[in-house]
Structure 1
Amino acid sequence: MDLPLVLAGLDQVSWSQLHHAYGSAEDVPTLLRGLASLEEGIADEAEQELWSSIVHQGTVYTATAPTVPFLARLIAEGVRRNALVGMLGVIAASVDEHDLPVPGAARDAVAAQLGPLLPLLADDDREVRRTTAWAVAQCRRSAGPDARAALRARWEAETDPAVRADVLTSCVLLDPDATEELCSVALAGDEPAPVRVAALLATADNGLPWNAEATAQVRALVPLERHGFGALWQREPLQALTEALHTRGGADTAIDVVGSALGRAAALHLQGNEHARAAVTEARWSAESLARRSRTAPARLLPVLLPLLHDPATAAEVIPLLRTWCQPAPEAIPALLAIARGDGEQADEALAALLYLGAPEATGLLARDLADRPRALKTAYRLATGDLRTPSQTHEPGEERTPLPYDPGLLDAIRVRLTAEPSGESRSVLDGGLAATNEPVYLTGLLAAWGSPARGALPELLAALPRHPLPVCRALASVADPQADVHVIEALQAQARQGEAAVRQAAASALHSLNGDAAPLVSVLAELLAGRGNGLEHSVAAAAALGETARALLPQLRTLLAEPPRSRETVPAIRAALGAASLVWQLTRDAQTVLPVIREGLAWASRPWGRATAVRATEVARLLGPAAEPLVPDLLPLLDDPEHAPGLVLVLTSVCPGADTLAGLPRTSLADRVLAAARPGSYTRSAMAVLTACVALGPAAFTDTRLDLIRALADADRRIVGAGLQDQIILDDERFRTEARKTLRTLTTAGPLGH
């Protein structure tokens, strides 16, 4: 290889003026030369450095596109062909562009080099053929007719099943008009399983007709993953297939496909088939994924899943879904009880599901095995504190959940557990004594939720106070009787006078709750507010909870707000200042003091990761009512951002509560912007803000057509809440549905405008 010729022009590039993930790209020439080194170690290191610099975690930089031609020349000379073709594919696939002067420049650079890459589609090495087909497909619209023709020619010639599947997928990506023809051939003939899986995915992705025969083909191929296409496509076939079907409006079809796959997986398991476990896992994951998208999927798929509970080898696939799908499942209780009476993690999971389903035997089982049931304890805590609702409560509009009922047997078990000492160096979830995790929070949280009926645990709580002061203080505030339990008051007073500020605050807060004495809490909060520690936002929130009593803290709060903006360059600092602004306004109605800080918060909308801070700023601005009018010019440019529109509309309605137009915009126009923000995949807070803003706009803003949009938010199959913790998404969406129905009732009481 004539390396100087291959890398001709390399030193004429102004690499020092370009950047990659680690700054200046002046090291790129050395790395490119290193790729061609005869010493394997040098070449390996050069390859890794290029991966991490010019296409770091899929991000491309100004140095990326200029590197591409040299990579293509090295590939043509046989240098690390598979790895470097894969690198070019990742560059072409990138949608995360860092400071590129022209959007898509990196992809276009790869497309410009497809000429010398296309011959590799016929390479003797099957992995090179696969990687090349994938990389060419990543160029999408930038790839020209030569690329489409080369892939089609490869489709006609390829005999390896895995490569043939990859080529089919690539052909479809570059030439969607050919999808129906290619998929018809693949599904009607004797194509090997990988090719049929690829054709089924292409059929779903491209909106081609789906029929019972296609569902039957999926069932016959389960588990689809064993016919997968390798790491480059990064798809789980069955999950991707059902998601595509659901996205195009085929909820029933997607559910039927998953149900069929579950049935096939169960049959394989009964037969002892070698692929049975993979089939069960794949089908269960697809069911779980679909349930987070489809509101009707859980009720229809749960009956197909429940038979798997009766086999210990498959029960673990089903039990977690009983806690997250918000579905009543009385028929599952006998099998769960049999598992929960056993040992180990599966027994713990089963007991957590029983608690969630409201099985009467569950509390007794938790009391019996409390030390060995951390997941069940967490579920009991979440039920008692209102973080979870049981399935019977999910669809009841406006019904408040009933806490986990007080149980004397469980109280006795908690008292015993509170006396357990950590066993030393072990840091496992269960360490032979009180776990060094959240167990103290859950135990004391249950007691706090029960309140005075848990008073019998006061001796154990007081004994645990030195070891776990924060959660114990909260429990004492709910459990103790301030008149009868003077010793508790004295213990809290002693705790409030010494130790870390956070501990003193917790004790002082408990005192305030018990006997109304705010002086210790005001004292420690004044210290924390003046100290500007890491917990400043928490301290401000604690001050806000004092209400009028927080007036004594106004000097510290005003000092915080008067600091220069440069002191609020971090998210915790600006959010603490916004909390302080909210409290100062509520205590003083001093708009001139708080408006500058709110304006600072709104400016965070343009910063990376700053949206949540800007949303918080709009929440504070709303409190000001008409006094927030000076902020309107800052608000209006953000109205086109769906993330901000609901909060901004709430501010505008508070500024001009009775006006037909808000900042010159009709309420009907604002209703359209708010409804556009209700998108599948939203976080709960964003989705709920849409409903709050609709109510604030009032019935006159909503025509029948707009009301139908709200009706769809409540009743359509696609979930609106789709982001957050996976085990909370379905629960949060069900809560959203309840609120959407309430909103609809509110807006229809006065009648809509009409069509």
Structure 2
Amino acid sequence: MFTGIDEVAWASMKHAYGSAEEVPRLLRGLASPSPQERERALDGMYGAVHHQGDVYDSTLACIPFLFALVARAELPDRSGVVELLVSIGGGATADEQPLEDADPVGERPAEGADPADDNHAMARTAVGAGAAVFAQLVGDRDPEVRRAAAPALTRFLDEPERVLGLLAERLDEEQEDRVRPALAEALGLFARLRPSVGAAAVDRLVALCSAPHDPGLRLAALGQLAGCAPDRLPIDLVSTVVALLRARSRWPRVEDLPERPDTDTLIGRLRRLRPADEEGSQLLRTLHTALGGRTADRIALLNGQLTCDAATDRCNAVWMSAGLFCEWRGSYEEPVALIGEQLLLGDGRLRDAAVSVLGDLFTLARPAADHLAELVATGPEHSTRRWERGAPTLGGALKALARAGDRRAVPALAEVLGGPVVPYDAGYTIKYLGAAAEPLGPLLRARLGEVPLDSPDAYDHASPLLSALGGLRHTDALPEVLRLLRGMTAELRGRERLVKAATQTLGAFGPAAREALPVLRELLDGEYAVAAASALWSVEGDAGAVLPVLRRELTRGKHARASAEALGRLGPAAGAAVPDLRRMAASEDVWKQAAAAGALWDVAGEPDPVLTALRSAWGRNVHTRGTLAACLGRMGPAGTPAHALLRTELAAPRRHQARSAGHGSHDIVEDEQLLRLCRTALESARPGPRQATFAPPRGPARTLAAPEGSDEPC
């Protein structure tokens, strides 16, 4: 099994963390009689030798030994090694290109290409060369090995007729409930990877969708059909799937899964996070993914799942909803209300899933607000969450309620602010309550006054409080803000960010912060010049004091974007900066271009250069669209030539920064804000007695754009 392993020059090879001299120990660990040692070895392979999907010279050298391991029927836990081989061979990618269209396996990249691409190509070749082993493993005595081998066989064995014959044979003989869906998945994969010869696989999937097959296998077949032959799906797809889900929950199943060790490895932690019904979760994830933008069908499917009797089916539905909500636009009131109903049903796993999903919905969570408020009222454990390591955070239910803008969150937040430790995310969350959070101002002020200036965590404690106080314009906190600015030392960790946060809060206070003028003027000559100048304009409205500073910083590069945004708030008073803003509007840096476009309109009211820059930035980076749509709203009728961009955005079914792999916690709220800005801009250009025109701001600006870093990390 390990013949020749000691002759390999492992010490001269590399993995993610340097020398690969430890790799023989990891390979031998995969064959250890100890389950804990086997899991630690597999964790080490993923963590170093195949780190985040990378392929190193040591990864390539492991492939023959991994094949030797999976061929030894007496060894346990070989399914994990099969999956590792599939991943090394690049077979677990999300975007599956048909093999008939792919470059020849192992073809070397062009000269000058990334050497890592060469390693990946050689890995595909090596795994493909050993793929005959997978043909033996689909009949292995270990069900977990059979389940892992079916998709491996389909991906790597370049003998289509043999692959299809083996899959059909196994489907006729397989007795294990948990293996049959993997065989259906392999058939669907075959049809997608080899469309020219996939008709027989599609026909077999259609046959598997009907009785007498068990509900789990029928669901698996439907999910695969949705991905490879959606025209063969039944007309009554949603009702069929819901009926099968309910039948599956009643279907007698013997869960004879192998026991797994309790190890403190990444693999172990991920296993503990898996859903209680992992197979059901996978079945529904496959179907939802294949349905993609068919939001009406997916909403109806979720509604059916969320009203199933089995808590595991409802829990799977909650997690499935997250992908739909984050990627696609739609009317989600009904499924959100049903998710809210899960909060008080007593199942901890189900409740935690519902809280997690609702927390990222912001105002879209309002149909569930009554249930969130009721959950928050049941006890303080839903207001604050404490961790074994690190500072406490807001409880998920309270955060979701506050993000929804529901004033019933205010009393619980008041209790949190009065507690021994303020969760770092409390201040960032309060702003979503708007004016309803005004009673929290005195508490926020008191906690800001308690922040020790010599603490290395001063920024972490103060910044969220400053954000909330600025959002509320709680000007009574001016002494506490000045205490920070005057008292922090040059050595304080995060000093630059803290100064910016404090000056932004002063700017939000406007003329009420006149006592801060001497401090702000002192900051005009240093690294905080832009933040200080922006705040000084908001407080005093003296263009003569801030314009030279902002023009200077506009051309220095590091603070050019912030300078442009600040110049825009000056309006026509910044007219001397127009030539520089025009040049910046043609910048290759898309964020500078977007900032300069908005500033040009606010300062000079010049539509042509603004529209040119705006169209360019809109297409180059989707993340600029909120800034640009707000600019079009200020332009009124002058922005009409670019309104096609707004209409196209409003008609698009996908969220503007949707991505198939993962999402940010603020993707939904930012997309909903973009849609509102697009509608507002279109409305501003409609004929009427109060038609919008270029109207330069007069006097000091009383509002500020959302400060950079003003919200918790995604």
Give the TM bin, normalised by the shorter chain: 0.5 to 0.7
Alignment of 1:474 onto 2:469: no
- 1:252 corresponding residue in structure 2: 296
Alignment of 1:209 onto 2:209: no
**CA 1:523 to 1:701, structure 2 compared with 1: closer, same or farther past 3 Å?**
closer
1:670-685 equivalent positions in 2, closer than 5 A: 683-685=622-624
**CA 1:255 to 1:652, structure 2 compared with 1: closer, same or farther past 3 Å?**
same
- 1:3 corresponding residue in structure 2: 3
- 1:290 corresponding residue in structure 2: 324
- 1:145 corresponding residue in structure 2: 161
**CA 1:52 to 1:342, structure 2 compared with 1: closer, same or farther past 3 Å?**
closer
Q: Deviations over 1:32-72 (max 9, x none)?
A: 99789999999999977765666432233577667645654
- 1:160 corresponding residue in structure 2: 176
Q: Deviations over 1:455-496 (max 9, x none)?
A: 3333444445436655344333443757x955x445666x75
1:377-388 equivalent positions in 2, closer than 5 A: 377-382=427-432, 384=434
Alignment of 1:115 onto 2:132: yes
Report the AA paired with residue 55 of structure 2. Answer: V
Report the AA paired with residue 322 of structure 2. Answer: E
- 2:189 corresponding residue in structure 1: 173
Report the AA paired with residue 161 of structure 2. Answer: P
Alignment of 1:514 onto 2:539: yes
Alignment of 1:456 onto 2:476: yes
SS in 1 for 2:138: helix
**CA 1:674 to 1:219, structure 2 compared with 1: closer, same or farther past 3 Å?**
farther
> 1:688, CA displacement in angstroms?
7.7
8 Å CA contact 2:625–2:674 kept in 1: the answer is: no
SS in 1 for 2:658: coil
Q: Deviations over 1:613-638 (max 9, x none)?
A: x544765998999xxxxxxxxxxxxx
Q: Deviations over 1:63-95 (max 9, x none)?
A: 766764565456546696545433321123165
8 Å CA contact 1:72–1:117 kept in 2: the answer is: no
8 Å CA contact 2:30–2:42 kept in 1: the answer is: no
1:580-619 equivalent positions in 2, closer than 5 A: 615-616=590-591
In 1, Cα distance between equivalents of 2:650 and 2:551: 46
- 1:86 corresponding residue in structure 2: 83
- 2:703 corresponding residue in structure 1: none
**Residue from 286, 292, 304 that aligns with 2:338:** 304
**CA 1:345 to 1:507, structure 2 compared with 1: closer, same or farther past 3 Å?**
farther
**CA 1:280 to 1:683, structure 2 compared with 1: closer, same or farther past 3 Å?**
farther
| RMSD over aligned Cα atoms | 5.9
8 Å CA contact 1:130–1:163 kept in 2: the answer is: yes
> 1:450, CA displacement in angstroms?
4.1
1:468-617 equivalent positions in 2, closer than 5 A: 470-479=500-509, 481=511, 486=515, 488-489=516-517, 496=523, 510-511=535-536, 513-515=538-540, 539-541=559-561, 544=564, 547=567, 615-616=590-591
**CA 1:436 to 1:113, structure 2 compared with 1: closer, same or farther past 3 Å?**
same
Q: Deviations over 1:417-459 (max 9, x none)?
A: 333356999x9xxxxxxx96755333333333344xx333334
In 1, Cα distance between equivalents of 2:164 and 2:46: 28
Report the AA paired with residue 177 of structure 1. Answer: A
TM-score by length of 1: 0.60
**CA 1:406 to 1:547, structure 2 compared with 1: closer, same or farther past 3 Å?**
same
1:214-225 equivalent positions in 2, closer than 5 A: 214-221=241-248
SS in 2 for 1:131: helix
Alignment of 1:414 onto 2:444: yes
**Residue from 417, 436, 442 that aligns with 1:370:** 417
**CA 1:31 to 1:622, structure 2 compared with 1: closer, same or farther past 3 Å?**
farther
Q: Deviations over 1:212-237 (max 9, x none)?
A: 22331124336999989998999942
SS in 1 for 2:418: helix
- 2:658 corresponding residue in structure 1: 722
**CA 1:653 to 1:542, structure 2 compared with 1: closer, same or farther past 3 Å?**
closer
Report the AA paired with residue 56 of structure 1. Answer: H
SS in 1 for 2:178: helix
In 1, Cα distance between equivalents of 2:445 and 2:40: 58
> 1:301, CA displacement in angstroms?
1.0
1:42-81 equivalent positions in 2, closer than 5 A: 55-60=50-55, 68=63, 71-72=66-67, 75-76=70-71
8 Å CA contact 2:617–2:624 kept in 1: the answer is: no
1:324-343 equivalent positions in 2, closer than 5 A: 324-325=360-361, 332=368, 334-343=370-379
In 2, Cα distance between equivalents of 1:344 and 1:138: 51
Alignment of 1:344 onto 2:380: yes
**CA 1:745 to 1:76, structure 2 compared with 1: closer, same or farther past 3 Å?**
same
**CA 1:64 to 1:526, structure 2 compared with 1: closer, same or farther past 3 Å?**
same
- 1:735 corresponding residue in structure 2: 673
In 2, Cα distance between equivalents of 1:548 and 1:310: 49
In 1, Cα distance between equivalents of 2:187 and 2:582: 65
**Residue from 463, 467, 487 that aligns with 1:445:** 467
**CA 1:323 to 1:23, structure 2 compared with 1: closer, same or farther past 3 Å?**
closer
**Residue from 106, 113, 117 that aligns with 2:123:** 106
Report the AA paired with residue 3 of structure 1. Answer: T
**CA 1:747 to 1:106, structure 2 compared with 1: closer, same or farther past 3 Å?**
farther
> 1:299, CA displacement in angstroms?
1.9
Report the AA paired with residue 209 of structure 1. Answer: L
Structure of higher RCO (CA pairs closer than 8 Å, 6+ residues apart): 2
Worse overlay, 170-179 or 45-54: 45-54
> 1:250, CA displacement in angstroms?
3.0
Structure 1: tracts of 5 or more residues without a match? 269-275, 385-403, 428-434, 531-535, 551-582, 603-613, 626-649, 658-670, 750-755
SS in 1 for 2:221: helix
In 2, Cα distance between equivalents of 1:725 and 1:710: 23
**Residue from 180, 183, 197 that aligns with 2:205:** 183
TM-score by length of 2: 0.63
Q: Deviations over 1:587-607 (max 9, x none)?
A: 66897xx99x96xxx5xxxxx
> 1:165, CA displacement in angstroms?
2.6
> 1:262, CA displacement in angstroms?
0.8
In 2, Cα distance between equivalents of 1:490 and 1:316: 50
In 1, Cα distance between equivalents of 2:147 and 2:306: 31
Aligned length: 593
The share of aligned pairs that are identical, in percent, is 22
**CA 1:510 to 1:184, structure 2 compared with 1: closer, same or farther past 3 Å?**
closer
- 1:662 corresponding residue in structure 2: none
8 Å CA contact 2:355–2:400 kept in 1: the answer is: yes
Structure 2: tracts of 5 or more residues without a match? 95-113, 192-197, 259-270, 384-394, 489-497, 601-607, 688-714
Report the AA paired with residue 671 of structure 2. Answer: D
**CA 1:35 to 1:349, structure 2 compared with 1: closer, same or farther past 3 Å?**
closer
**CA 1:234 to 1:514, structure 2 compared with 1: closer, same or farther past 3 Å?**
farther
In 1, Cα distance between equivalents of 2:166 and 2:520: 78
**CA 1:712 to 1:190, structure 2 compared with 1: closer, same or farther past 3 Å?**
farther
8 Å CA contact 1:122–1:154 kept in 2: the answer is: yes
8 Å CA contact 1:299–1:327 kept in 2: the answer is: no
8 Å CA contact 1:218–1:257 kept in 2: the answer is: no
Report the AA paired with residue 60 of structure 1. Answer: V
Worse overlay, 148-157 or 29-38: 29-38
SS in 2 for 1:295: coil
SS in 2 for 1:123: coil
8 Å CA contact 2:306–2:318 kept in 1: the answer is: yes
Worse overlay, 303-312 or 511-520: 511-520
In 1, Cα distance between equivalents of 2:279 and 2:46: 18
In 2, Cα distance between equivalents of 1:497 and 1:716: 44
8 Å CA contact 1:292–1:730 kept in 2: the answer is: yes
